[in-house]
Amino acid sequence: MSKITSSTLIKFKQEGKKFTSLTAYDASFAAAFDSEGVDVLLVGDSLGMVLQGHDDTLPVTIQDIAYHTRCVRRGIKRALLMADMPFMTYSNPQQAMENATLLMQAGANMVKIEGGHWLLETVTKLTERGIPVCGHIGLTPQSVHVFGGFKVQGRGAENAQRILDEAKALEAAGAQLIVLECIPAPLAKTITEALTIPVIGIGAGVDTDGQILVMHDVLGISSGYIPRFSKNYLKQTGEIRSAIRAYIEEVQQGIFPSDEHTFN
C-alpha cells in the first residue's frame, strides 16, 4: 500500500472519503493497526493517563513522547505518524522548534499542538522550517485546570465563533490538520466545511473528515472514566484485529460516531 501523507488526507477530504486514526504507543499495536488500515497513528500524551496512571496529561515529558514515537515508528509501514507535544514544551516558537525537532528525528511525520490564536507564530515558524503541524482546538486536555475539568467546549454563539475563528487562523498559519475535541456536532460540521485542510474529530460528531479514538477505549481496557464519545469495539467483536476493522468500517460508512457518542 502507498504511504499515507498529508496530501493523501487532503485528497480523502476532497473525495469525501472518511479516514481513521488511533493512538498507539508501541511497535506491536502500531503494526496491527497499520496492517488493518488505520490511516493516522498518534503517539498521544494520553499515555500519561493510560500507560503511566496519572489523572491528566500534564506530567508527560518530551522524552516520553520521543521514546514511544521511536517504538511506534518501528511498527508501521503505511500510516502517517503524528506525535503530541506535551504540556509546556511549545510555550514559545524557539522552544517549540527545539522540541518538535526531537520528535521528527524520533520518526514523527507531524507534530500536534493544543491551542488557538496564541500559537499562530509558532505554527508558521514550524511549517516554514519543514515541520508539519496538526492543530488541536475545542477541549484541549493540557488546559484541563483552566476549563475546570474535561468539559464540552464551543457552546453558545460567542464560544462557537471563537473556535471557528481559531480553526481558520491555524489553517492560514500553515497547519495541515486540525483535531476538534468535545464540541457540538453542528459546530464541527461548520468548521469542517469551512476549511480546506482535513479535520479529525473526537467527540465532535460524524461530519468531520476523520475520527480519532484512544486505543485503550476502543479495546475497552481503560481504567476509570470512559468518555461518552468512545466505543468499545472489542466487546462488540471479541478479537482485537476484528475490533479495529469494525472501527474503520463504521467510520467510513458514517455509522460512528452515532448520536449516543455526540454532543449537540
Just list the catalytic residues.
181
Annotate 75-112 with DSSP letters as a single string. Answer: T-SSSEEEEEPPTTS-SSHHHHHHHHHHHHHTT-SEEE
Cα-to-chain-centroid distance, residue 94: 23
CB proximity list for 179: less than 8 A, separation 6 or greater: 112, 134, 135, 136, 137, 138, 199, 200, 201, 202, 212
**Can you read off the three cell numbers belonging to residue 36?**
488493518
Nearest to 198, CA basis, from 115, 82, 91, 92: 82
